[in-house]
Structure 1
Amino acid sequence: MTDTSWVEGADDGPFGLDHLPYGVFSTAKDPAARIGVRIGDQVLDLRALATGTFFLPWIRPAFHEHDLNGFMAMGPSAWRLVRHQLTELLSDRRFQDQSATLLTPVAKARMHLPFSVADYVDFYASEEHATNLGRLFRPDSEPLLPNWKHLPVGYHGRAGTVVPSGTPITRPRGQRKSKEGPIEFGPSARLDIETEVGFVVGVGTELGTPVSPDDFAEHVFGAVLVNDWSARDIQAWEYVPLGPFLGKSFATSIGHWVTPLDALAGAKTVAPVQEPVPLGYLRETERFGYDLRMSVRWNGTEVSRPPFGGMYWTPAQMLAHMTVNGASLRTGDLYASGTVSGPEPGQRGSFLELTWGGRDPVEVGEGETRAFLEDGDTVVIAATARGANGGEIGLGEVTGTILPALN
């Protein structure tokens, strides 16, 4: 086994042997959705590979399913075994002639939602994002509310409106409060994004069983990029006293490719020091985050580069807090970080922050500016990270285009 792949061009891009993310695809010739792994600009068909003797018999059935859930439920030993086998297959030229027939160019693949979403939870884990919103909404008070540094604040979203990258986003309608005072109903006029990283649960738990942050890797299969679309005017009117609802639940976009945790080993970074020290159930033996360098493009113009490595609450702490009351985990649970923002203006992960509530529109093309999303606008979120062998991997992009509200 070598450190290079026989797949042409794979070693020079973000989808080399260090990465090997999983997705679900179909083709014009075979419309059945099936699991694949990305190598370079190709997708290796794992259903076809599993019809032979390459995988162990107890693993093969998972690759005959139409999503990743069965494989994710098998746990870390299966994940690592398959990753090792795929690395060997895609690097050893003895397998080239036979395996090359199982490759489909990404450009000819139709991508689907990679896993069946069991539940969806969204957090609020960036101190910079929470501080910016506090200054916008409560300019005469402390920006962070008293509980923020004691627990990862979060809310439950709608699993049924998690959609794959590329799905058009219809502008939502709802109640909003006008400046003059009357309550109005209509399309959101302050449609926004939230640049996030999501984590996908593979191994579930029994009801009543909390998960320690140190057991994060025993349950979480991988990471996926997330855009949690937000209607800020609807949200502002509805969120008191119970929090986000219709302003968030209309759509959440995720990337086509789930990056295994093992592929992010080289991106581990020391997480920020927490003061005050959190309660015992949130303390980690090894406190780490992931140094993901994110990018937001609005109609083709890069407008922000949020840094995920500086998040105050880590993915392991989010998982621990989500289960500390005994709430169970299920295969396919998705939990997201909340908006990723950094300390600099060019690192803000939502347009609400980037334009400071719409006061400072940004340029999104020659002679065009925006405060919030307009119909026809397209947003692309991407991220790169250091690979395990020192190269660079790129998490699959998440993109969406805004359609007009329904009548």
Structure 2
Amino acid sequence: MLKSFINVDANSHFPIQNLPYGVFRKKGGKEEPSIGTAIGDFVLDLSVLDDAGLFDKTSVRGQKVFHQSTLNRFMELGKTAWKEVRAVIQELLRDDVPTLMDDADLRKRAFISQNQVDMLLPVGIGDYTDFYASKEHATNVGTMFRGKDNALMPNWTHLPVGYHGRASSVVVSGTDIRRPQGQIKPPGQEYPTFSPCRQLDFELEVGCFIGTGNRLGEPIPVGEAEEHIFGMVLVNDWSARDIQAWEYQPLGPFLAKNFATSISPWVVPLEALAPFRIPGPMQEPEPLPYLKTNKAGSFDIQLEVYLKGDDMESPQLITETNYRHLYWSMAQMVAHHSIGGCNLKPGDLLASGTISGPEKITRGSMLELAWRGAEPIKLSNGKERVWLEDGDELIMTGWCQGDGYRVGFGEVTGRVLPAVKLEGMQEVGILKS
């Protein structure tokens, strides 16, 4: 097993087998952001390695891709460049390679503790697409609203259902989330009212970033789709269920989803996830040829969600599930997204939709966990939750478990703040149990 000269705890998400990419700035610093990789409790500044000429034998030489404020320029270079750079970084961090290990001055300039940096949004996101790829989640939601016999829409097992989201409100982990507001139509009421959302929810998702895109009118074959994926992140696609219930007829989510989507700051390369590749669920009926693949398209990624109210001493686990439950693979999502000729571009974000499993603890949203309010979540302080309240913090994490090491995503967190007070608009009282 590869080992780094940097001491890495067995439970760390960032061993030498991972090496995710992110954008950071020193706390309190005014210098431009840098691109780095995580190793144990440290960030390795790749711009420092670049300046030292350590990438001169790769295709990124002279392009200053690690002196940027986003990963986009590096991402668009393609898989060959990604593999070359990853190989160099992994070699430099090995415990039997002296180049970096024995150069005290270079180490001092290149390494910085993770608790001394602010992580920034890693990618300039041009477009964002959210899918609906978990059969268990789609079945749960359909059962609640349409009954068990009509849970899945007729098209669901034939194509990856999705919608185009709002890229401008994708934020990095740690960003506070304002409670959205909009039109809500309570049951039995003839007309809607304006109100802060009363049914605020989270959605546990995993997303992928497109590295190299395709030209307009030229679809990406499913067998080549992963060649276009740079890496993956955790996603919390916050959701205003009551706003959506009124506005989605006849189209889809709008204000209910465009107020915020949180992502983890470290982008994990597909190469780091390769040892944990597994087949996805059996697909019946057999997909149409443009979606059919014999390659194992899923990954064994353990996922957890914790909730911490502002009056709780510590976060409480409320969900533990696995990425393996996704019915549609990322490759199938990319292939379907582009089959009509849509041109994906470097930095585009594709998210999985809520990931739920077959058991109650594996449900990936409050809507499912509390079963639309019928089964409140009991908290350690004696209180209950049906929906998220002001002051609540959501913490999502995920990792793949290897033999003596983990390849993880870190965390994506967000805390709910009260809705903005709008002068002249009467607010509906809500939010505390």
Fold in common (TM above 0.5): yes
Q: Which secondary structure does the structure 1 equivalent of 2:371 belong to?
A: coil
Is the contact between residue 11 and residue 17 of structure 1 (CA under 8 Å) also seen in structure 2?
A: no
Q: What letter matches 2:367 in structure 1?
A: L
1:372 aligns with 2:387: yes
**How far 1:384 moved relative to its partner?**
1.2
Aligned position for 1:43 = 43
Contact conserved, 1:11 with 1:40, CA < 8 A, in 2? Answer: no
Alignment partner, residue 95 of structure 1: 100
Map residues 229-308 of structure 1 onto 2, 5 A cutoff: 229-299=238-308, 300-308=315-323
**Tell me, what secondary structure is at the counterpart of 2:198?**
coil
Q: Deviations over 1:322-360 (max 9, x none)?
A: 000000010000000000000000100000000000111
Q: Say whether residues 1:74 and 2:77 are aligned partners.
A: yes
Is 2:395 the partner of 1:392? no
TM-score, length basis structure 1: 0.97
- Residue by residue over 1:194-232, the C-alpha shift from the partner in whole angstroms, topping out at 9 and shown as x without a partner, is 000000000011100101111122100000000000000
Whether 1:316 and 2:319 are equivalent positions in the alignment is no
Give 3-state SS (helix, strand or coil) of 2:83's partner: helix
Q: Map of 1:341-352 to 2, 5 A cutoff?
A: 341-352=356-367
The alignment status of 1:164 with 2:169, answered yes or no, reads no
1:210 aligned partner: 219
C-alpha displacement of 1:31: 3.3
User: 1:110-259 to 2 correspondence within 5 Å?
Assistant: 110-139=118-147, 141-181=149-189, 182-259=191-268
The corresponding residue for 1:86 is 89
Aligned-partner Cα distance in 1 for 2:332–2:59: 33
Question: Aligned equivalents of 2:20 and 2:383: distance in 1?
Answer: 36
**Letter of the 1:100 counterpart:** R
Determine if the alignment matches structure 1 residue 59 to structure 2 residue 60: yes
Farther off after superposition, 323-332 or 12-21: 12-21
Question: Does the CA-based 8 Å contact 1:266-1:390 persist in structure 2?
Answer: no
Once residues 66 and 148 of structure 2 are traced to their aligned partners in structure 1, the CA distance between those partners, rounded to angstroms, is 56
Runs of 4+ in 1 over 4 A off after TM superposition: none
Instruction: Give the C-alpha shift of residue 100 in structure 1.
Output: 2.1
Judged with a 3 Å threshold, the aligned counterparts in structure 2 of structure 1 residues 397 and 363 are, in CA distance, closer, same or farther, namely same
Deviation larger for 183-192 or 49-58: 49-58
Aligned equivalents of 1:222, 1:251: Cα separation in 2: 21
2:356 is equivalent to residue 356 of structure 1:
no
How far apart in 2 are the matches of 1:97 and 1:11?
A: 24
* Equivalent AA in structure 2 for residue 272 of structure 1: P
For residues 42 and 128 of structure 2, what CA distance do their matches in structure 1 show? 30
Cα distance change on mapping 1:153 and 1:275 into 2, 3 Å: same
Contact 1:24–1:111 (8 Å) recurs in 2: yes
Distance 1:170 1:24, change over 3 A: same
The alpha carbon displacement at 1:392 in A equals 1.9
Tell me which amino acid in the other structure corresponds to 2:293. E
Range moving further from structure 2, 30-39 or 184-193: 30-39
2:220, 2:186 → 1: CA distance? 44
Whether the 8 Å CA contact 2:305–2:394 is kept in 1: the answer is: yes
Matching of residue 404 in structure 1 with residue 418 in structure 2: yes
Decide whether the 8 Å contact of 2:10 with 2:406 is kept in 1.
no
Secondary structure of the 1:394 match is strand
Q: Give CA deviations for 1:19-60 in whole Å, capped at 9, x if unaligned.
A: 001100001345311100000010001112111211127414
Asked if the contact 2:15–2:405 (Cα under 8 Å) also holds between the matched residues in 1, the reply is no
Q: In the alignment, which residue of structure 2 is the partner of 1:18?
A: 17
Q: Is residue 142–residue 148 contact of structure 2 (8 Å, CA) maintained in 1?
A: no
1:64 CA displacement:
1.5
Whether the 8 Å CA contact 1:4–1:11 is kept in 2: the answer is: no
Greater shift, 178-187 or 158-167, is seen at 178-187
> Is there any run of 5+ residues in structure 2 with no aligned partner, and where?
309-314, 422-433
SS at match of 1:316: helix
Helix, strand or coil: the match of 2:379? Answer: strand
SS across alignment from 1:81: helix
The percent identity for this pair of structures is: 46
List per-residue Cα deviations over 1:368-401 (Å, max 9, x = no partner): 21100000000001011134x6632221210000
Q: String of CA shifts for 1:292-334, please: whole Å, max 9, x gaps.
A: 1100001110001122102111111011000000000100000
Contact 2:127 2:349 survives alignment (8 Å): yes
Cα distance in 2 for residues equivalent to 1:261 and 1:58: 19
Give the whole-Å Cα distance in 2 for the aligned partners of 1:167 and 1:7. 30
Question: What number of residue pairs does the alignment pair up?
Answer: 405
1:282 maps to a residue whose letter is: L
Q: Distance in 2 between matches of 1:307 and 1:208?
A: 35
Q: Which amino acid aligns with 1:349?
A: G
C-alpha distance in 1 between matches for 2:275 and 2:107: 29
Corresponding letter in the other structure for 2:325: G
Q: Distance in 1 between matches of 2:330 and 2:151?
A: 23
Deviation at 1:9, TM superposition (A): 2.8
Query: Secondary structure of 1:305's match?
Result: strand
Any conservation in 1 of the 2:12–2:405 contact (CA below 8 Å)? Answer: no
